[in-house]
Amino acid sequence: MRILILGGDGFCGWPTALYLSHKGHSVAILDNLIRREWDIELGANSLTPIAALNVRADAWEKLSGRPLQIFIGDLQDYNFVSNAFQDFRPEAVVHFAEQRSAPYSMIDRSHAVFTQVNNVVGALNVLFAMREYTPDAHLIKLGTMGEYGTPNIDIEEGYLEIEHNGRKDVMPYPKQPGSFYHLSKVHDSHNILFACRIWGLRATDLNQGVVYNVDTEETNSEEALYNRFDYDGVFGTALNRFCAETAIGYPMTVHGVGGQTRGFIDIRDTVRCIEIAAMNPAAQGEMKVYNQFTEQWSVLQLAERVQSVAQQMGLHPEISHVENPRVEKEDHYYNAKHTKLIDLGLQPHLLTDETIHGLLEKAVRYRDRIKMDLFPARVRWS
């Protein structure tokens, strides 16, 4: 299958590109490399060294014998998008190419506006390009579990049957996102559902949980293929950041009481979920929605898991409850459904001590690259 990976240079996009290439698909990457620019803006870096896109793509071709076609440009530039679609003629389009950090979107007005315009216009341009050039292709769009917020009822997969005043309908699940970034994904979901409905496009919206772990079999096969390992307060996420902190004896930064419960997924399952979605395209006019995570954890539970494994490795992990920079509930009901991908064949990598051990080992190996002042989450919501 010809699969175009939008954002294929990023944390989820790169391992997905290699995994699908390894599985025999014809893979192209479209990326504007802006994730690397945000590192420069924030003075941040990946804990692991990462090669330039052309270098890592060459390394992959040398290793696997499988080329990756590369399109460098911005989804907001429709001429560029048009040319890429006409050139590659994708059968599936995997869309990771959005600004994906909640704190980044909350830095100030211009970052909020940038995030929403970048994400919404990028996705609109993809929809229009699909309509124009590849109307039968399948859009696989990354959303986030954060679109749902933390309602007091069970979270379903995208749609909810509602009975009200004696009548029934199946409606889009009501969304209560918690940042300008999460809001941008809600905007996308509404736009995509509409495009499917009026133009007959096919789409699958994947509401992904927080991704942990870093490498897949493919990206781990040599250093030139390594995936990025974000540990900073803006792009780093719970479990991975805890491992980086522990590697240099910095206390794990749990926001508030740490009762915030979320869905989590191993990056090795992310790449497999994308494959499953691609193998099961939506019908014409349909927007499927899957909740893409495998387990629920509270932030404090994750810190305790890391603490336990780190102690066995002779490290001295501490947990520090720091002031929560976000406006969010720290103790709440949370029960989110996630059976659809399992039903389609996902065999989850549940969080093991071995996985945490591997992350801690990698963090210790590259500990000299860690800039400690990047750990604190300094962007405040209010």
Q: Binding string to a second copy for residues 156 to 185, with x set by CB under 8 A, is what?
A: x---x-xxxx-xxx-xxxxxxxxxx--x--
Q: Tell how strand 69-72 and strand 159-164 pair up.
A: unpaired
> What's the closest the beta carbon of residue 104 comes to a second copy, in angstroms?
15
Q: Closer to a second copy at the Cβ: 180 or 226?
A: 180
Residues 33 and 57: beta-carbon distance below 8 Å: no
Q: Tell me which of 33, 153, 342, 344 binds a second copy, using CB under 8 A.
A: 153
> What's the closest the beta carbon of residue 331 comes to a second copy, in angstroms?
16
How far apart, in Å, do the first and last CA atoms of the chain sit?
46
Rounded Cα distance, 271 and 177, in Å: 25
Q: Closer to a second copy at the Cβ: 116 or 213?
A: 116
Torsion, Cα 242 245 246 250, to 10 degrees, reads: -130
> What's the closest the beta carbon of residue 255 comes to a second copy, in angstroms?
15
Rounded Cα distance, 336 and 97, in Å: 25
Q: Closer to a second copy at the Cβ: 316 or 337?
A: 337
Contacts with a second copy in 292-331 (CB under 8 A)? 327
Residue 241's H or E segment, with its range, is: helix 238-247
Q: Is 150 among the catalytic positions?
A: no
Q: Residue 48: name the closest of 378, 266, 361 by CA.
A: 361
Torsion, Cα 93 99 103 104, to 10 degrees, reads: 170
Q: Tell me which of 38, 42, 44, 151 binds a second copy, using CB under 8 A.
A: 151
Catalytic position from the list 16, 48, 133, 185: 185
Rounded Cα distance, 35 and 52, in Å: 12
Q: Is 231 among the catalytic positions?
A: no
Catalytic position from the list 133, 181, 231, 250: 181
Q: Closer to a second copy at the Cβ: 103 or 317?
A: 103
Q: Closer to a second copy at the Cβ: 62 or 190?
A: 190
Contacts with a second copy in 26-85 (CB under 8 A)? 78
- The DSSP call for residue 308 is H
Rounded Cα distance, 278 and 276, in Å: 5
CB-side exposure of 95: number of CA atoms within 13 Å? 34
Burial class (CB in 10 A: 0-12, 13-18, 19+), 59: middle
Q: Is 181 among the catalytic positions?
A: yes
The answer to whether 332 contacts a second copy (rule: CB under 8 A) is no
> What's the closest the beta carbon of residue 256 comes to a second copy, in angstroms?
15
Residue 122's H or E segment, with its range, is: helix 109-133
Catalytic position from the list 48, 115, 134, 144: 144
Residue 342's H or E segment, with its range, is: helix 340-343
Q: Tell me which of 16, 46, 99, 125 binds a second copy, using CB under 8 A.
A: 125
- Binding residues with a second copy: total (CB under 8 A): 49
Q: Closer to a second copy at the Cβ: 38 or 128?
A: 128
Contacts with a second copy in 218-277 (CB under 8 A)? none
Q: Tell me which of 29, 120, 243, 370 binds a second copy, using CB under 8 A.
A: 120
Q: Partners of 159 in the beta sheet?
A: 172
| Active centre residues (catalytic) | 144, 181, 185
Q: Can you give the binding site for a second copy, defined by CB under 8 A?
A: 78, 109, 112-113, 116-117, 120-121, 124-125, 128, 151-154, 156, 160, 162-165, 167-169, 171-180, 183, 186-187, 190-191, 193-194, 197-200, 327, 333, 381-382
